[in-house]
Amino acid sequence: MIYLTLITKRIFLALLTLLIVSAILYGLLEILPGDVATRILGRDANEENLAILRERAGLNIPPVQRYFFWLFNIMRGDLGYSLISTRPLTEILAPKIFNTLILSTCAFLLYLPLTFITALVQASNKDKKIDNILSAITLIILSMPDFIIGTILLIVFVVIFPLLPAISLVNESSTLGEWIMALIMPSVTLALVMFVYGVRMLRDNLIEVLNAEYVLMAGLKGLPRYRVLIKHALPNAIVPTLNVTALNLGFLIGGVVVVEQICSFPGFGRLLIEAIKNKDLPVVEATILVAAGFYISANLIADVISILLNPKLRKT
Amino acid sequence: MFKIGFVILSIHLLIAVTGPFWAPFHYAQMGAGKPLLGMNWINFFGTDHLGRDVFSRVVHGSYMVISLSIFGTMIGLVIGSFTGLLSAYIGGWVDEFVQRFNEALISIPFLVLGLLAILVAGPKLSGEPILMALAVALVYAPRISRISRSAALDIIMSDYVIVARLRGESALSIIWREVLPNISGTMLVEFAIRAGFAPILIGSFGFLGFGIRPPFPEWGSMINDYRPFIFISPITVIGPALALSSLVVSLNLFTEGLARLLGTSRKEIK
């Protein structure tokens, strides 16, 4: 297949980007600003503690060498050890990533139909009253930062109608019921945040699709409107939806951090915040790398699917 | 529609500039009232757990949020547009390299990137407002760089620039006289859009605990601090939240109107 080279090139570029991310991460955190040990322990740490830390964290090796050791270890699957709890990072990260994945999937499942239907309604009734009302509502929610949306939802569903628990602490031993209760708040918040960005982009894309000539043609042929929508417009709406979703993933990962903090959901985002507060460098590096990795791979998958679906993209 | 935005925005700016003069209380003044009073005529947003007047705190914090947003976005815009422009002009492997670099930076979710910057800055800078502005600039610069590069590429490929090059014009003069004026429209809209989002970014930093050092009344950290008191006195949270949301809504409405006025197509934020 001709476009196989194109796909391989994309994969290669993605890996390269990830590599650069790791270099930037490591460079920022370990190499550039002065003494790492002092930063972790604070300005008033005594010399002995600093020396112990340097030894333990392996900071005595020259930085560039350290970077390559780190990379090498990652490729073998060893992400290092947390400075605070000295447990291997893979052990710490795995369950949190799992939790966050469940959360993201729930949010995603909520977000997808909501966005699609709303954007479709807006696109089909462009500039009519319903479109403007929906646009206004979207703009207002868009302007509210995710933590405010989360906090408002918290107020509504915990204070006013005491339906849901205020904290979403779950672990392996919680029942399915507890899991579901805990997941509702964060996933709804996340879904809303993604929804407002997605629906704006999707609306414009869908308007383009609906105004295409083949849609007009199908309508002229006498096909009923819903048939035109489903058989002709919809398949062509998949690609823009995919692109919009891939772009939204950036907001998803960012939003996850805030939402998990609000609801105390034991996931990836909260882990990152805790690590930054505790200045637990290995954890910070590993988590950001994983986050960037997710984002890059998601974009890659979206790109590849678009290439496979749309022959016109195969030329580049 | 965007007139509403303009009006609200002007109110915000007015409060930001003149607020500290007429606010009823100082932002660190404890004892402006009994702790955790609800809304009343003296304290419009009630008092917080230390007895400080929330409304005054919101007013005092206002100028910081607005000036940091604008300042930070401006720094990001300057860095971003120049790197993008130069990258487009020089081309070749410099261009490739800068692009990969930008992409890597964009792959890190923006909140995380800002947190990273704050972490890296070390204990001396932490809690300083300037750090907030720099973090915002760091988050925006790669994205703006991308956009300015594609805008600049358009111009550079066009005939009159090729002619100017053939005439022997120096690179600097071409950039200054041909490229810059033509991308400034797009860049202005970009600036407006990003500046609209910046208060959210700064608020998020504050909310997560990485904001300006207390007791400065930054809206994000206020919302976070008052969260435990949501059940007792929700107005303490709603007050700053309302302020932040209305600021961003008005900024967004204003920039949409601006974009429509300038006729440039709305490029969505990534």
What does A109-143 look like in DSSP terms, one character per residue? HHHHHHHHHHHHHHHHTTTSHHHHHHHHHHHHHHH
Question: What's the residue count for chain B?
Answer: 270
Domain assignment of residue B202, given as a range = 2-269
Which residue did the predictor score with more confidence, A30 or B116?
B116
3-state DSSP call for residue B172?
helix
Retrieve residue B153's tokens.
């590429």
- pLDDT band at residue B270 using 50, 70 and 90 as cut-offs: very low
Q: How far is CA A292 from CA A19, A56, A189, A286, B171, in A?
A: 10, 27, 22, 10, 37
Which of A298-307, B125-134, B141-150 is modeled with the greatest confidence? B141-150
Is residue B104 less than 8 Å (CB to CB) from chain A? Answer: yes
- Chain position carrying tokens 């993604």: A194
Q: How many CB pairs under 8 A join A and B?
A: 140
Per the listing, tokens 């460079």 go with A27
- Compute CA distances A38 → A52, A92, A174, B118, B146, whole Å: 12, 25, 40, 16, 36
| Residues β-bridged to residue B215 | none
In whole angstroms, what is the distance from residue B112 CA to residue B105 CA?
10
A25 to chain B, any CB pair closer than 8 A? The answer is yes
Q: Does B96 touch chain A (CB under 8 A)?
A: no
- A145–chain B Cβ distance below 8 A for any pair: yes
Whether B75 has a pLDDT exceeding 80, the answer reads: yes
Does B210 touch chain A if contact means CB atoms closer than 8 Å? yes
* Angstrom distance (rounded) from CA B117 to CA B72: 13
Residues of B with Cβ-Cβ distance to A251 under 8 angstroms: 109
Crossing angle of helices B235-262 and B54-90, in 10° steps, is: 40
- If you measure CA to CA, which chain A residue comes closest to B207? A147
Instruction: Assess B213–A contact: CB distance below 8 Å, yes or no.
Output: no
Rg (CA), chain B: 22
Distance CA A258, CA A146 (A): 7
B46 to chain A, closest Cα gap in Å:
17
A122 φ/ψ angles, rounded to the nearest 5 degrees: -65, -45
* Nearest one of B204, B239, B206, B254 to B53, comparing CA atoms: B239
Give the residue with greater pLDDT, B71 vs A68.
B71
User: Can you name the residues that pair with B138 across neighbouring β-strands?
Assistant: none
- Output b/e per residue, A26-58; b: 16+ Cβ within 10 A: bebbbeeeeebbbbbbeeeeeeeebeebbeebe
**Using one digit for the tens of pLDDT, what is the confidence trace for A114-146?**
888 888 778 777 777 777 788 888 877 887 777
Identify the pLDDT of residue B267.
45
Q: How far is A7 from chain B (nearest CA, A)?
A: 17
Q: B219: nearest CA in chain A? A: A148
Residue B137, amino acid: A
Counting the structural domains of chain B, the total is 1
Which range has the worst mean pLDDT, A228-242, B63-77, B196-210? A228-242
- How far apart CA B250 and CA B63 sit, in angstroms, is 16
User: Largest Cα–Cα distance of chain B, in whole Å?
Assistant: 75
The residue of chain B nearest to residue A140, with distances taken between CA atoms, is B249
Q: Tell me which residue in B230, B249, B269 faces A159 most closely, judged by beta carbons.
A: B230
Choose, out of B107, B194, B218, the residue to mutate when testing the contact with A (most A CBs < 10 Å).
Answer: B107
So what's the pLDDT on residue A68?
76
CB atoms B119 and A29 under 8 Å: yes
Q: Give tens-digit pLDDT for B94-109.
A: 888 888 888 888 887 7
Examine the pLDDT at B233 and tell me if it is beyond 70. Answer: yes
* A278 contacts chain B (CB < 8 A): no
Interface of B with A in 150-189 (CB under 8 A): none
Look at A54 and A301; give whichever has higher pLDDT.
A301
Question: Measured between alpha carbons, how far is residue A73 from residues A279, A289, B206, B213 in Å?
Answer: 21, 13, 35, 38
Which residues 191-230 of A are in CB contact (within 8 Å) with B? Answer: 197, 200-201, 204
Exposure string of B185-213, with b = 16+ CB inside 10 Å and e = fewer, is ebbbbbbbbbbbbbbbbbbbbbbbebbbe
Q: Does ipTM come in above 0.85?
A: no
Q: With 80 as the cut, is the pLDDT of residue B266 above it?
A: no
What proportion of chain A, given as a percentage, has pLDDT over 70? 71
CATH number at residue B218: 1.10.3720.10
Rounded mean pLDDT of B215-241?
A: 78
Confidence of residue B22 (pLDDT cuts 50, 70, 90): low
Contact residues on chain A for B253, CB-CB shorter than 8 A: 139
**Domain residue limits, chain A:** 2-75, 89-314
Question: Facing residues of B201 across strands?
Answer: none
Which residues on chain A are in Cβ contact (under 8 Å) with B112? 253-254, 257, 272, 288, 291
What's the fold here for domain A89-314?
MetI-like fold (1.10.3720)
pLDDT of residue B265: 47
Do B112 and A254 lie within an 8 Å CB cutoff? yes
Name the CA radius of gyration of chain A, rounded. Answer: 24
The CA-to-CA distance between both ends of chain B, in Å, stands at 25
Helix B92-107, helix A281-309: angle, nearest 10: 110
List, in order, residues 6 or more apart from B42 with CB less than 8 Å away: B24, B32, B33, B53
Residues of chain B with C-beta less than 8 angstroms from the C-beta of A28: 116, 120
Task: Please compute the mean of the pLDDT values over residues B248-253 and round it to a whole number.
Answer: 80
Question: If you average pLDDT over residues B238-265, what whole number do you get?
Answer: 75
pLDDT computed for residue B268 by the predictor: 41
Side chain identity at residue B208, one-letter code = L
Residue A39: pLDDT band by 50, 70, 90 thresholds? low
Cβ count within 10 A of residue B128 = 13
Question: Among all residues of chain B, which has the CA nearest to that of A204?
Answer: B266
Q: Give CA–CA dist B88/A32, Å, rounded.
A: 28
Q: Which residues of A touch B269 (CB under 8 A)?
A: 197
- pLDDT, averaged across chain B: 77
Region of A141 (left: φ > 0; alpha: ψ -120 to 50; beta: rest) is alpha
Q: What share of chain B is helix, strand, coil (3-state, %, to 5)?
A: 75, 0, 25
**Looking at the complex, does the CB of residue A301 fall below 8 Å from at least one CB of chain B?**
no
Instruction: Report percent pLDDT > 70 for chain B.
Output: 81
Angle, CA A268 vertex, CA B214 and CA A179 arms, to 5°: 110
- How does pLDDT run across A147-163, given as a tens digit for each residue? 888 877 777 776 655 55
Tell me the mean pLDDT in the region B137-148: 86
Are B97 and A254 a contacting pair, CB within 8 Å? Answer: no
- A292–chain B nearest CA distance, Å: 5
Give the single-character DSSP code of B32: S
pLDDT for B196 equals 80
Q: Residue A291 has what pLDDT?
A: 83
Strand partners, B53: B47
Query: Over the stretch A161-188, which tens digit does the pLDDT of each residue have?
Result: 555 555 555 555 556 666 777 777 788 8
Q: pLDDT (tens digit, 9 = 90+) per residue, A61-81? A: 666 777 777 777 777 776 666
Q: What's the gap in Å between the CA of A144 and the closest CA on chain B?
A: 5
At residue A279's C-alpha, the angle toward residues B107 and A291, to 5°, is 20
Q: Which of B16-25, B80-89, B188-197 has the lowest mean pLDDT?
A: B16-25
Distance CA B80, CA B147 (A): 9
Cα(A156)–Cα(B246) distance, integer angstroms:
20
Highest mean pLDDT among A47-61, A95-109, B3-17: A95-109
Q: What is the pLDDT of residues A235-245, one digit of tens each?
A: 777 777 777 77
Asked which of A220-224, B73-77, B124-128, B132-136 is least confident by mean pLDDT, the reply is B124-128
Q: Which of A151, A206, A274 to mutate to test the interface with B (most CBs of B within 10 A)?
A: A151
Could you give the angle at the alpha carbon of B239 between the alpha carbons of B244 and B128, nearest 5°? 55
Residue A188: burial class (beta carbons within 10 Å; 0-12, 13-18, 19+)? buried
Q: In the predicted model, what is the mean pLDDT of residues A95-106?
A: 82
Task: For residue A3, give the DSSP letter.
Answer: T
Of the candidates B32, B28, B41, B13, the residue with the CA atom closest to the CA atom of residue B199? B13
Residues of chain A with Cβ-Cβ distance to B249 below 8 Å are 139-140, 143
The number of helix segments (H) and strand segments (E) in chain A equals 13, 0
- The pLDDT of residue B151: 81
Give the CA count within 13 Å in the CB-facing half-sphere of B166. 6
B261's tokens? 């006025």
Q: Show residues of chain B in contact with A296, CB under 8 Å.
A: 107
Query: Does A113 have pLDDT greater than 80?
Result: yes
